[in-house]
Structure 1
Amino acid sequence: MVMKSIREAVVGGSFVCCFPTTYGVFFRHDREEAVPSNFLSGLDLGTARTYQGVLIRVHDKEAAMSMYSKFAEWYDRIFPFSPGVYAFLNHHLGDRGGPVLDLGCGTGDYCSAFTRDGIQAVGLDLDQAMVSQARTRAPETEFHVLDMAEFRTLGGPWSMIYCIGNTAAHLPQGRFWSCVEDVAERLLPDGVWIVQVMNWDYVLGLPSFVFPPKVMEGAVFHRAYEDITPESLTFRTGLDIEGRRVFDDQVRLHPLPSADIVAGHEARGFRLVEHVSDYAGSGFDPDVFSANIFVFTR
Structure 2
Amino acid sequence: MTSSIPPSQNGFYPDGGLNVASYDLRAELDRKLFDDPLPFYRDWAIRAGGPVLELGCGTGRIAGEIARHGIDVEGLDLSGAMLAQARRHYPDLTWHQADMCDFDLGCRFALVIIPFRGLQEVTTAAGQRAALSRAFAHLKPGGRLVFDLIDPDLRYCLPEGDAEIVQLPLFPMPAGVGEPDSRLRITAMERSNTPLTQQFCEHWRFEELSPEGKILRREDNWHHMRWVHRAEMALMLEICGFVSISEYSGFNQEAPCYAANQVWVATRPA
**Shorter chain as normaliser: what TM range?**
0.7 to 0.9
1:170 to 83, 108, 121: 121
Q: Partner of 1:230 in structure 2? A: 196
Structure 1 residues 158, 147: CA separation in 2 closer, same or farther (over 3 Å shift)?
Answer: same
Q: How does 1:280-295 map to 2 (within 5 A)?
A: 280-286=252-258, 288=259, 290-295=260-265
Q: Could you tell me how far 1:65 is from its partner in structure 2?
A: 4.0
* Equivalent-residue separation in structure 1 for 2:47 and 2:13 (angstroms): 38
Q: Partner of 1:188 in structure 2? A: 140
Structure 1 residues 211, 140: CA separation in 2 closer, same or farther (over 3 Å shift)?
Answer: farther
Relative to the length of structure 1, the TM-score reads: 0.69
SS at match of 1:168: helix
RMSD (Å) for aligned C-alpha atoms: 2.8
1:117 aligned onto 2:117:
no
Structure 1 residues 272, 213: CA separation in 2 closer, same or farther (over 3 Å shift)?
Answer: farther
* Residues 203-237 of structure 1, C-alpha deviations (whole Å, 9 max, x = no match): 43574244744324343433343133231222221
Report if aligned partners of 2:157, 2:193 keep a CA contact under 8 Å in 1. Answer: no
Q: Partner of 1:98 in structure 2? A: 50
1:221 to 182, 186, 203: 186
Q: One-letter code of the match for 2:38?
A: Y
Report if aligned partners of 2:249, 2:261 keep a CA contact under 8 Å in 1. Answer: yes
Q: Could you tell me how far 1:264 is from its partner in structure 2?
A: 1.4
Q: Partner of 1:297 in structure 2? A: 267
Report if aligned partners of 1:107, 1:133 keep a CA contact under 8 Å in 2. Answer: yes
Unaligned runs of 5+ in 2: 1-7, 172-182
Q: Calculate percent identity across the aligned residue pairs.
A: 20
Q: Could you tell me how far 1:277 is from its partner in structure 2?
A: 3.0
**How many correspondences in the alignment?**
236
* Residues 253-276 of structure 1, C-alpha deviations (whole Å, 9 max, x = no match): 222211100111123222354423
Q: Partner of 1:276 in structure 2? A: 248
* Equivalent-residue separation in structure 1 for 2:158 and 2:68 (angstroms): 43
Unaligned runs of 5+ in 1: 1-59
Q: Partner of 2:178 in structure 1? A: none
Q: Which segment drifts farther, 209-218 or 114-123?
A: 209-218
Report if aligned partners of 1:99, 1:159 keep a CA contact under 8 Å in 2. Answer: yes
Relative to the length of structure 2, the TM-score reads: 0.76
1:158 to 109, 119, 123: 109
Flag the structure with more relative contact order, 1 or 2, with Cα contacts below 8 A and sequence separation at least 6.
2
